[in-house]
Amino acid sequence: MSKFSQPDIIVVGLGPAGACAARKAAEAGCTVMAIEKKAAAGTPVQCAEFVPSMVGVEVAGLSDTCRQAIDSMMTFVEHDAPDRMANFPGQMIDRQAFDSQLVQIAIDAGVECHFGVSLKSVSKAGEMTLSDGRILKAEIIIGVDGPKSRIGAAIGQINHELVETRQISVPLLHPQSATDIFLSADIEGGYGWLFPKGDTANLGLGVDAGQKHRLKPLLDNLHEDLVRQGRVGNEIFYHTGGAIPVGGMLECTGRLGDGAVLLAGDAAGLTNPVTGAGINAAVISGHYAGTCAAALKGGDGDALEDYQEDLEDLFKPGLDRACKRRQQILNAFRNGGPSREELRTNWIAYPEYWAA
């Protein structure tokens, strides 16, 4: 690995939020270095790979990574007939290709990217020790290192509430253009999903972190049910999974020593606490973080406060509603289990979710 430069800005994490933040700061004339613990962008995939259509506005060339268009959502509550949400446009993407494209755009903008390098620790003075023993310090740190962010922890901003997920890729026996959602009193604090990608599908399930031990049997049962129905095949192409933050938005700014810190994406708690959706928020918050970092470098003393306010304006109302609904359904699970009505009330496809 080549010797590191001493950049204006260090970005920790090169998922969608990190790549977008690094690119924006570099385009504004800052010297930017980004590190990523994975050996390559987007590998392994830890994502259901659905994105809403609006992401295309934020990411040029998104269609290059699209594998299938989505037009609706089908919600299965227990074993009832599904309820269809007709207007639910989006795309199933190839997440590895998506992340790789964003990183390449960042590199083209001048970002110095290093893969296979992780952050081991960060001091209160902002000195970062990397996995190869190097110690770096920058005027500005952007923490985009996921739900268990070391940068977030360093400034006291930690995602305490998590959902654990498990996903398999299986043959899809009949084409479909809807995402399938499975709600059940057996799936505590989460839901199951079947997301089509042409002739394959992502079949997954998420549960409250305390129920992680039930993930495999629950997903096995869902897979077996869909095989019996003739919807998917027995073969499993790959497994994946991971944690998702579901506690709502954190304070997205802070300081370490004389340096500024920004959080974005999962590290900032911007993932929806009910659906687990986070790619759109990651891309948008990454853009804002990079722009803010460049403004700070340029001497804008109000940039940190403006960044927090901008993210709150964009995301907090929706996240607060989702937190409220998540707490309601968790209370139902802890008091004998939710009814069908409660499952519907706390899912986005139903008008009750959006009521005051």
Each residue's pLDDT tens digit, 68-111: 999 999 999 999 999 999 999 999 999 999 999 999 999 999 99
Both tokens of 352, joined, read 């009750």
- CB neighbourhood size of 134 (10 A): 14
Residue 227 contacts residue 96 (beta carbons within 8 Å): no
Local structure of residue 7 (DSSP, 8 states): -
CA distance linking residue 196 with residue 170, whole number of Å: 10
Residue 155 contacts residue 219 (beta carbons within 8 Å): no
Taking CA atoms, 3 is separated from 33, 112, 135, in Å, by 12, 11, 12
Both tokens of 331, joined, read 């209370």
Query: Residues of the chain whose pLDDT is less than 50?
Result: 1-4, 56-57
Cross-strand partners of 261: 141, 254
Give the β-pairing of 128-130 and 119-122.
Answer: antiparallel
pTM to 2 decimal places: 0.94
Model pLDDT, residue 61: 52
Residue 171 contacts residue 233 (beta carbons within 8 Å): yes
Q: Give the sign of the dihedral formed by CA 147, CA 306, CA 26, CA 32.
A: negative
Residue 6 contacts residue 136 (beta carbons within 8 Å): yes
167 three-class SS: strand
67, 35, 71: which is closest to 53 by C-alpha?
71
Give the CATH class of 9-68+88-160+247-323: alpha beta
249, 241, 291: which is closest to 266 by C-alpha?
249
119, 105, 112, 123: which is closest to 61 by C-alpha?
105
